[in-house]
Amino acid sequence: MMSSNHPINVLGTREHAEAITAHRHSGVYSALQWLTFSHLPESLQAFSRPFYQTAVELITTVRTDSPELTTALNKLIEAKDAAVRAGIISQHGVPGSVPRPAAVVSPPYLADPA
């Protein structure tokens, strides 16, 4: 049995996204990978988390993959990107890159789910 802090059970990790999208269309898989947030600095995770949560709820509720589902997920990616940029401006006063976290983090792994 996996512990609750195993990456597959941690919201926003690559492993969690892979578990949610197992056996789903590659567009659904890829979209959720773009919405993961565990790799972001903790101060920015709050701006990204709601979009991941919404996508997970959508994917688990809509059991049939379709162009409409992929479009909805892609719109969430657009909105998440804008929200994170707004968070950067809000926290730092200017647009641009943010200081790297002290710990090295792994970015989402975008591999073919097959």
Write out the two tokens for 111.
């591999």
| CA–CA dist 46, 49 (Å, integer) | 5
- What pLDDT was estimated at residue 8? 83
Residue 102, C-beta contacts closer than 8 angstroms, at least 6 positions apart: none
pTM for the model: 0.81
> In the chain, which stretches have pLDDT less than 50?
none
Residue 1 identity (one-letter amino acid): M
Which SS3 state, helix, strand or coil, does residue 76 take?
Answer: helix
Give 54's Cβ-side CA count (13 Å radius).
15
| CA–CA dist 55, 79 (Å, integer) | 12
Report which of 23, 21, 26 is spatially closest to residue 36, judged by C-alpha positions. Answer: 21
Write out the two tokens for 19.
């578990």
